[in-house]
């Protein structure tokens, strides 16, 4: 991966509420906002910050499985619904399972680099609460190889990461690993409570980490090595952001203090038909992070905060190791020691991540970028962390499937 040939920025981010169990206003028995409502809200949320859609050159929408959740395909054609000025403009839909949002930003970056656009609207959406979890598991299983579904767990993806967790327990100790999962869960709830759009914003648990730790995984009711708190929730939501060139920012009249620079990115994929080479390593995450940092001529120690893909607590521990913050087997200790907490040495997922903020699959990668934008422009509200002056860098790592489709992006406070 080489250095980017143009300066790239993100600005004008917007997140809808991540709706689902946990939110007070969520009632599965009542009619709720649909796919188009979320697209419209997120799209308008961005466009209202820049005076409408006239200056948008291209649009990218990321989504995983609206065709099954919502009986809807051809999603790119929803952009003109957001704003009439988007009619007849280039629009494309991208899909890479839970990594779809990352692909939307990567696609936008490429358009800017190709000089076919100066301002790209990237919008991610997923509306999953249309089906019960037992059927949602079938849909989400599409993020893995279809040939593996038959012998997979009823709850397919929790099953995949439960298997990884089982090996981690065996290798490094179950209690040790579960302590880290509990701490991670607690951190995510703490962070989500500070973010009004987070699914766990209303969480009232007296001691989330303790509640997590007491809930022993039970394969009879769920999966062998994870409990329900180890998993991100089923969510409805959308996130959107503008990806711009320097000229694009100027055209929009956006001051750089309201933007964040993307200084490198790595978008890589691995063979979906193969099992993980090493169940206790996220090899593709490791590769993408490596390329993104190398391309930015940085090391992980230069990064102030990261949004990582904690679809499961077990994935968070492995991601910490894949980022190079801890040796194999030491990621759990890194989390237990509080490094990833919002007051720690390397705050992660400062608005709750997938476990606390929510995981509207196709929107997640964009939500990560919006969080980094908010943190580096001082607009994270109560969730704001302090970015040290000597570490003006952030990172997002968005993963599709079981470590298959990855986008890692490195950001810098705009100057």
Binding site for other proteins (CB under 8 A): 132, 134-135, 137-138, 141, 149-151, 153-154, 220
- Within 13 Å, how many C-alpha atoms sit on residue 21's CB side? 11
User: In which element (H, E) is residue 28 found?
Assistant: none
CA separation for the pair 190, 188 (Å, rounded): 5
Residue 317 Cβ, how far from other proteins at the closest point, in Å? Answer: 25
Residue 207 vs 345, nearer CB to other proteins:
207
Beta strands in 103-190 (DSSP E): 119-127
Phi, psi of 310 (to 5 degrees): -95, 60
Cα of first residue to Cα of last residue in the chain, in angstroms, is 23
Judged by DSSP in three states, 267 sits in: strand
Between residues 81 and 154, which has the closer beta carbon with respect to other proteins?
Answer: 154
Q: Which class for 149: exposed (0-12), middle (13-18), buried (19 or more C-beta within 10 A)?
A: middle
Q: How far is the CB of 154 from other proteins (least distance, A)?
A: 4
Min CB(149)–other proteins separation in Å = 5
Rounded distance between C-alpha atoms, residue 241 and residue 270, angstroms:
27
CB of 126 to other proteins, least distance (A): 19
Identity of the residue, 65 or 123, whose beta carbon is nearer to other proteins in the bound complex: 65
Sign of the alpha-carbon dihedral angle for 190, 192, 194, 199: negative
Task: Tally the C-alpha atoms within 13 A of residue 285's C-alpha that lie toward its C-beta.
Answer: 31
Nearer to other proteins, 91 or 137 (CB): 137
| CB nearer other proteins, residue 32 or residue 148 | 148
Please identify, using beta-carbon distances, which residue of 138 and 281 lies nearer to other proteins: 138
Q: Which is nearer to other proteins, 10 or 137 (CB)?
A: 137
Find the shortest distance in angstroms from Cβ 228 to other proteins.
14
* Strands 58-62 vs 119-127: parallel, antiparallel or unpaired: parallel
Q: How far is CA 117 from CA 6, 82, 249, 403, in A?
A: 12, 19, 12, 31
Q: How far is the CB of 143 from other proteins (least distance, A)?
A: 14
Q: What are the beta bridge partners of residue 243?
A: 10, 120
Please provide residue 6's backbone torsions phi and psi, each rounded to the nearest 5 degrees.
-135, 155
* 3-state DSSP assignment of residue 219: coil
Closer to other proteins at the Cβ: 37 or 138? 138
Nearest distance, CB of residue 136 and other proteins, angstroms:
9
**CB-based contacts of 230, cutoff 8 Å, min separation 6:** 158, 161, 165, 181, 185, 212, 217, 312, 313, 314
In the complex, the smallest distance separating the C-beta of residue 117 from other proteins, rounded to whole angstroms, is 40
CB of 142 to other proteins, least distance (A): 10
Q: Which is nearer to other proteins, 3 or 30 (CB)?
A: 30
**CA distance linking residue 260 with residue 245, whole number of Å:** 11
Residue nearer to other proteins on the CB measure, 135 or 338: 135
- Paired strand residues for 59: 91, 121
Of the pair 81, 135, the CB lying nearest other proteins is at 135
Q: How far is the CB of 219 from other proteins (least distance, A)?
A: 8
Q: What pairs with residue 408 in β-bridges?
A: 266, 397
- Phi first, then psi: what are they for 410, rounded to 5°? -110, 130
- The nearest distance, CB 34 to other proteins, in angstroms, is 21
């Amino acid at each position: 991966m080489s250095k980017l040939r143009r300066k790239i920025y993100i600005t004008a981010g917007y997140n809808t509420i991540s709706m689902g169990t946990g939110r007070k206003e969520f009632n599965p028995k009542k009619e709720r906002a649909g796919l188009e409502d979320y697209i419209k809200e997120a799209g308008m949320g961005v466009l209202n910050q820049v005076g409408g859609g006239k200056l948008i050159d291209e649009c990218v929408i990321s989504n995983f499985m609206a065709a099954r959740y919502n009986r809807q395909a051809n999603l790119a054609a929803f952009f003109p619904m957001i704003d009439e000025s988007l009619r007849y403009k280039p629009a494309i839909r991208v899909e890479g399972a839970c990594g779809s949002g990352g692909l939307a930003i990567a696609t936008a970056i490429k358009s800017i680099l190709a000089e076919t656009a100066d301002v790209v609207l990237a919008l991610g959406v997923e509306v999953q609460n249309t089906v019960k979890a037992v059927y949602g598991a079938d849909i989400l299983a599409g993020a893995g190889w279809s040939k593996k579904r038959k012998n997979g767990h009823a709850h397919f993806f929790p099953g995949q990461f439960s298997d990884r967790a089982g090996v981690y327990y065996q290798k490094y100790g179950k209690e040790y690993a579960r302590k880290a999962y509990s701490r991670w869960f607690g951190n995510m709830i703490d962070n989500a409570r500070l973010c009004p759009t987070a699914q766990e914003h209303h969480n009232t648990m007296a001691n989330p980490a303790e509640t997590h730790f007491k809930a022993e995984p039970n394969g009879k009711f769920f999966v062998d090595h994870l409990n329900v708190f180890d998993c991100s929730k089923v969510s409805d939501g959308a996130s959107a952001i503008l990806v711009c060139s320097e000229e694009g920012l100027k055209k929009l009249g956006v001051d750089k203090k309201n933007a964040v620079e993307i200084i490198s990115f790595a978008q890589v994929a691995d063979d979906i038909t193969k099992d993980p080479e090493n169940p206790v390593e996220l090899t593709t995450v490791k590769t993408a992070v490596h390329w993104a940092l190398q391309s930015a001529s940085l090391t992980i120690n230069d990064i102030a905060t990261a949004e990582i893909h904690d679809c499961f607590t077990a994935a968070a521990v492995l991601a910490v190791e894949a980022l190079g913050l801890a040796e194999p087997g030491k990621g759990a200790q890194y989390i237990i020691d509080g490094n990833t907490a919002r007051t720690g040495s390397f705050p992660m997922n400062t608005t709750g991540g997938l476990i606390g903020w929510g995981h509207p699959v196709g929107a997640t990668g964009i939500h990560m970028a919006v969080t980094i934008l908010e943190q580096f422009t001082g607009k994270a509200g109560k969730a704001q962390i302090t970015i040290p002056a000597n570490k003006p860098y952030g990172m997002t790592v968005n993963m599709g499937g079981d470590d298959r489709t990855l986008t890692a992006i490195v950001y810098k406070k705009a100057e």
